[in-house]
Structure 1
Amino acid sequence: MTGAHRGGRVRVAVTGIGVRSPAGNTPDEVFATLLAARSTAAVVPGLAERGMAVRFACLVPFFDTDAHIGRREARQIDRPTALVLCAAADAVADAALTPVAEPERAGVQIGTGVGGLASMEATTRDHGERPSAMPVHTVPRTMANSAACRIAMRHGFHGECTTYATACASGTTAIGEAARRIRHGELDVALAGGVDAPVTPVIMGGFHRLRALSVRNEAPERASRPFDADRDGFVMGEGAAVLVLERWDRARARGARIHGEIAGYAATCDAFHIVAPRPDGEPASRCMRLALADAGCAPADIGHINAHGTSTLLNDRSEARAIARCFDGHSPPVTAMKGVTGHLVGGSGALEAALALLCADRGLVPPVANLRSSPEAGMVDLVVGAPRAVPPAPVLSNSFGFGGQNSCLVLAPAPAGDRPATTRALR
């Protein structure tokens, strides 16, 4: 298990992590916020001033772009691109990744659920009456692939540069597909993750019309409550997370400190309904089983599950049934981070995969925020009240998106000799 191959195939190491999230702008900050089960939801003045039906969300606190983005570039990009550029720069620094000798074997895979919609909304609002006066950077700002391409330009990666749009599963899909490219010998290193910044009037209004959002305006900090009996919808969030993925032997040869590995990945489709999951959870359960098989793991090998856990009635119920099916009623500990961070849409799966790996490595599973009682408690072992200590073991991270897009990752902590020191530059 410590060599360059797992079951005869190339292993994929995670050597760097970068984040920009409502729960913090470094992995350690996010980890501490999750362990405290401290919700980050708050009223957004711009939404309140417009009299929106939902007036709160989970926003990224102030983040310094000056270290990573020049003033000229800042005028050319939108908020999602700024978020993910900063996250990618931190991931590269965390990995101590120097310019690669073969840039054509270095790629970028980024997921986004909303793409350039937020930028298009703002441009239409500000310039829709005078199309001839549109800003010159309108098209680059609104292209869904702008974020991935700017990351590639910044770091000089000439390999495959791809943008994935699988709704709420986009970040997970991007990481899984990047791992596949490395396994299959197409890439040696990749920057992979997800981003979205969808807290805008049109997007918030649209999700509200779908009855997907919580309407707890009087108590936003208690609104996101995955698997809770009193859940009434998810809380919109924003953020980005990027992982540095490398061939295991390459990472070892350059002396990289390894966070863990992408051990398994799978994707399926419900093919059932455009916004509702299949009630019995069978396609999601099959995705979990396929990811476990891809990792060479049995259900009993999984130390805990990072659930998609949106805090909506149908999705949480379907996911609980899927977990019960996959694990034959013997659920490992289950947590859900969206009670703290809200739903980052395309960024959620990437952030959750990164933090799930840290949880597995450090042996602590965060409790589900705002969970008091759950109708799903008989099907899954939900972590409630306080963090739970678990032995280092592989973790299953789930992402399920609109359109029935299911993506699952199995992430394994590194062997003891390869784990980061506690003083590592995760900050």
Structure 2
Amino acid sequence: MTEVVVTGLGATTPLGGDVAATWAGLLDARTGVSELSADWVDEHRFPVRIAAQLAVEPDRDLDFVELKRMDRCEQLALIAARQAWRDAGLAEDSVEPARRGVVVGTGIGGALTLVAQHDGIRTRGLRGVSPQTIPMIMPNGPAAMVGLEFRARAGVHAPMSACASGAEAIAWAWRMIKAGEADVVLAGGADACITPAIMAGFVRARSMSSRNASPDAASRPFDAGRDGFVLGEGAGVVVLERAEFAAARRARVYGRLAGAGMSNDAHHITAPDPDGIGQASAMTAAVRTGGLAVSDIGHVNAHATSTPLGDLVESATIRHVFGDRPVVTAPKGVLGHLLGASGAVEAIATLLSIKDGLVPPTANLDSLDKRIELDVVAKAPRKVALTAAISNSFGFGGHNVTLAFSAL
């Protein structure tokens, strides 16, 4: 039976420009949320004036031409992918291009470019629109840019399942390797859409926190006083390999991607099924396909976005499937919601929790909602010996994805 292992990690987030800085920020519960200073915030009198912006701008890692030819979400995907490839110790001749794959998802895509080009044509006419517009706004742009960089001829795919996109990309990459289609796959997600139209849409949907006076306390998963999520930007990419291939090249291995579960609520375009049936299906499928037992799962990295209904439904479903035994955390308290990148970045955090035996605290959890009957880590990291853990990602449209990781 083909096993899939993780050999490389890459990320750029509101907590840092790489995995090490992001992981340290999670363990320290150091917030990446801050007040927005863009002119449009005042111009449009935005009621939400906070977001989780990148800690390190892309121009640190990309040259002028790359910055001009790629949308911000594509830039972030490429930065994370390059980090992951280097971290895996892969060289150009390490794997045949025909055995390399890429799966990178996004929730929104090239929103910043679309807005900029719309402004350009209004102010300067046709000459105000870049000839690179289409490659920059197309939803498969992040995957395509990574695929070109690494000559991934086994297949380049771009799942779009809202906030579950990054996790779904990793699940599809797992399936590619299981099916014998590739030996090495770069997989993850990227999003960068802190822009007026996108934020206005979330504001109108009443899904965002409006704690403008205290940005560091705005995102508070599972807390009784939560009032919505905080929009963020970032990217996360992992290198998945067929275990035998990794062993043959003596690769350093972080752990095993044991299983993956995907389902849909088929209930509502934005609200989760209150019974959690679809979420439970994804969780149990991840455990089952990973050859694990429910009792093996010692940790749950929760999707928990800090919305009143979403956190409650997920917590009840976790308890239904696993009881109150697993140690739970919710990284969006410091990361904000990275949309299509969140599942990939949080998959990395889940894997590191197993590897390091540490579960990061859930930030701003001052008063656990009494209806949430789980062991949620707060205040400080908790030392836990873990053999297996899951990471949940859920998205508008009813998408549910759960990834199950295990130690070797």
**TM-score range, shorter-chain basis?**
over 0.9
Matches within 5 A, 1:409-420: 409-414=403-408
CA distance in structure 1 between the partners assigned to 2:366 and 2:404 by the alignment: 28
Q: Given residue 87 of structure 2, which amino acid in structure 1 is its aligned partner?
A: D
* Identity in percent: 44
Contact 1:41 1:56 in 2 (8 A): yes
Partner of 1:53: 47
Query: 1:375 deviation in Å?
Result: 2.1
TM-aligned CA distance change 1:103 to 1:25, over 3 Å: same
Contact 1:303 1:332 in 2 (8 A): yes
Partner of 1:15: 7
Segments of structure 1 that go 5 or more residues without pairing to the other structure are 1-8, 415-427
* 1:283 maps to 2:273: no
Partner of 1:210: 205
TM-aligned CA distance change 1:66 to 1:388, over 3 Å: closer
Partner of 1:181: 176
Contact 1:118 1:203 in 2 (8 A): no
Further displaced range: 98-107 or 160-169: 98-107
Query: 1:378 deviation in Å?
Result: 4.8
1:385-422 Cα distance to aligned partner (Å, 9 max, x none) = 211111032111000101110000001133xxxxxxxx
Partner of 2:65: 72
TM-aligned CA distance change 1:101 to 1:283, over 3 Å: closer
CA distance in structure 1 between the partners assigned to 2:166 and 2:58 by the alignment: 23
CA distance in structure 2 between the partners assigned to 1:62 and 1:366 by the alignment: 22
Q: TM-score, normalised by structure 2?
A: 0.96
Partner of 1:399: 393
* 1:91 maps to 2:91: no
* Number of residue pairs the alignment of both structures matches: 404
Match of 2:294 among 299, 319, 325: 299
Contact 1:320 1:376 in 2 (8 A): no
Q: Given residue 80 of structure 1, which amino acid in structure 2 is its aligned partner?
A: C
TM-aligned CA distance change 1:206 to 1:265, over 3 Å: same
Q: TM-score, normalised by structure 1?
A: 0.92
CA distance in structure 2 between the partners assigned to 1:120 and 1:376 by the alignment: 43
Q: Given residue 244 of structure 1, which amino acid in structure 2 is its aligned partner?
A: V
Query: 1:233 deviation in Å?
Result: 0.2
CA distance in structure 2 between the partners assigned to 1:64 and 1:312 by the alignment: 30
Q: Given residue 93 of structure 1, which amino acid in structure 2 is its aligned partner?
A: R
Partner of 2:34: 42
Partner of 2:102: 108
Q: Given residue 387 of structure 1, which amino acid in structure 2 is its aligned partner?
A: P
Match of 2:25 among 28, 33, 54: 33
CA distance in structure 1 between the partners assigned to 2:365 and 2:274 by the alignment: 22
Query: 1:64 deviation in Å?
Result: 5.3
1:100-159 Cα distance to aligned partner (Å, 9 max, x none) = 442111110001000123321221123235552221111111111111111111112212
CA distance in structure 1 between the partners assigned to 2:133 and 2:370 by the alignment: 46
Query: 1:73 deviation in Å?
Result: 2.5
Contact 2:105 2:140 in 1 (8 A): no
Contact 1:113 1:170 in 2 (8 A): yes
Contact 1:317 1:376 in 2 (8 A): no
Query: 1:323 deviation in Å?
Result: 0.5
RMSD of equivalent CA atoms? 1.4
Segments of structure 2 that go 5 or more residues without pairing to the other structure are none
* 1:257 maps to 2:252: yes
TM-aligned CA distance change 1:365 to 1:377, over 3 Å: farther
Q: Secondary structure at the match of 2:400?
A: strand
Partner of 2:269: 274
